[in-house]
Amino acid sequence: MHKNSFTLFFAAIVTIVCSLLLAGAATLLRDRQQENVELDKRTNILASAGMTEINGKPLTRADVLRIYEEQIRSMVIDKNGNKTDKSIDELDPKEDGEYLPLYYCVNKDSIESYIIPISGKGLWSTIYGYLAIEPDGKTVKGITFYQHGETPGLGGEIEKEWFTNNFKGKQIVDEQGNLTSITVVKGSVKDKISDVSKRKYYVDGVSGATLTGRGLTKFLKEDLEKYEPFFKKIRK
């Protein structure tokens, strides 16, 4: 009985000490974790706009912070595409659903691209990313996917450069100016779309990840529809 009591007492003490250590570590590291989340966000915003390296070398933490500060601006628009006085940092997704965050990249006072957050359901998870549009309001400059739970080697390939590079130069509107978005096809665009003039609205899919591609196609168009009033103004 004495041995059992000692074992239980010892186990309880170890559990309490470990819990206190974990709680302390979580508290001490919270600010650092938040900094890493913000850094990852900025890295992906820059990547969507085509800024991933300097002189052939990947951006360092300092590079990301400096370039973001120098070239990325933000604003909040309403559902009619009009700029508001709100700040992105003040937005509450639960209460400010009628407002949309919008980033844009500048260089010597000229706008190089507009960047919008995108997200939606894939096969197994919610996929998050950023889509950059050229100043013409209709041409894709780049896209990134930075958070998802899709199957590694299958749907998880959407985050790889070979896939995201397919979006560059694609068009989100047709010749009449109507929103088409970008469709992820099953297989190769060259094999699926015989009309060459239509291929600018499609990208190659990931082998074995048809449902992830369908989900991406769906939420990409839904997000672009939200921002379409703004991009219409840009195109005019």
Residue 236, pLDDT > 60, answer yes
Rg (alpha carbons) of the chain, rounded to whole number: 22
Among the residues of the chain, which ranges form H helices?
2-48, 61-71, 161-164, 189-192, 210-235
Q: Give per-residue pLDDT as tens, 19-49.
A: 666 766 556 656 666 788 889 999 999 999 9
117 close to 224: Cβ distance less than 8 angstroms = no
Residue 8, pLDDT > 90, answer no
Residue 106 parent element (H or E): strand 99-107
Q: What is the DSSP annotation of 30-98?
A: HHHHHHHHHHHHHHHHHHHTT--EETTEEPPHHHHHHHHHHHEEEEEEETTS-B-S--GGG--TTT-TT
- Residue 141: name the closest of 182, 198, 93, 199 by CA: 182
d(CA 48, CA 110): 18
Mean pLDDT of 225-236: 94
Q: Give per-residue pLDDT as tens, 97-140.
A: 789 999 999 988 899 999 999 999 999 999 999 999 999 999 99
